[in-house]
Amino acid sequence: MKDIVLLTGAGQIGLAIVRRIGSGKRIIVSDYSLEHAENLVKTLTEAGFDSVPFQADISSRDSVRALLDFACSEGRIVRFVNAAGVSPSQAPIERILKVDLYGTALLLDEVGKVIAEGGTGITISSQSGHRMPALTPEQDELLAMTPVEELLGLEMLQPENIRDTLHAYQMAKRCNVKRVMAESVKWGMRGARINSISPGIIVTPLAIDEFNGPRGDFYKNMFAKCPAGRPGTADEVGGLAEFVMSERGAFITGSDFLMDGGATASYFYGPLKG
């Protein structure tokens, strides 16, 4: 059977990661837009990779199961990369929670049932989850442990408790990190690992949408005043993911890696404070 790399979200970060881990494996590229998946497959194929597109909506359990049925018919899933999501400038509150929060939780749950022994996964979260004020231990546990189909019914996620799309995004990304922690216990029972990376501002088409959106000046100020003094690149995220998913990262699971050029540090203790 072929070794499968499963990618959800046909963007620049996902591409940077699978180029590092996909040699000699079959890469299944899934996206809400089949056109986006096909475009990324074209890029991979022209670079010598074995890849195939698939249309999938991560906010639909039926769609996710269809994707996994296809992936498992192709081989054994040994690597999983979730880079799917929408940003605060791209979608309303309900869609952000449905895709970024529920969709990620759904993927972690379903992929965890079929990941191969020795397999590894990475989900892309965000620095935004680290900048939000701390939740109570009880709230964190609810985000981590609530059954997937009950998540969107939590009181803290109801419309009256979500201020705006940025708040929805922050809650989704906080949930991503907590779900990874909880799911790592289940994945470990299969001899597999799952972690998350929380990038800061990475120059991608999604980030450019943010730069040109209503919060564009905020983001430009953020990377100008962070210790690194610049935004990051998808290749830098790819390099970290490659390490964490490799044998060199074999003792790492249930962890989140904040990778934001020091923006969160500056937000709490430097010139971005206040």
The residues annotated with a catalytic role in the active site are 169, 173
DSSP string of the chain, one letter each residue = -EEEEEEES-SHHHHHHHHHH-TTSEEEEEESSHHHHHHHHHHHHHTT-EEEEEE--TT-HHHHHHHHHHHHHHEEEEEEEE-----TTTS-HHHHIIIIIIIHHHHHHHHTTTPPTT-EEEEE--THHHHSPPPPHHHHHHHHHS-GGGGGGSGGGSGGG--SHHHHHHHHHHHHHHHHHHHHHHHHHTT-EEEEEEE-SB-SHHHHHHHTSTTHHHHHHHHHHSTT-S-B-HHHHHHHHHHHHSGGGTT--S-EEEESTTHHHHHHHSTT--
Give me the pLDDT at residue 219, please. Answer: 82
pTM of the model: 0.95
Q: What would the pLDDT profile of 108-139 be if each residue is shown by its tens digit?
A: 999 999 999 999 999 999 999 999 989 999 99
**Mean pLDDT for the chain overall:** 95
Q: How confident is the model at residue 207 (pLDDT cuts 50, 70, 90)?
A: confident
Q: What would the pLDDT profile of 66-93 be if each residue is shown by its tens digit?
A: 999 999 999 999 999 999 999 888 899 9
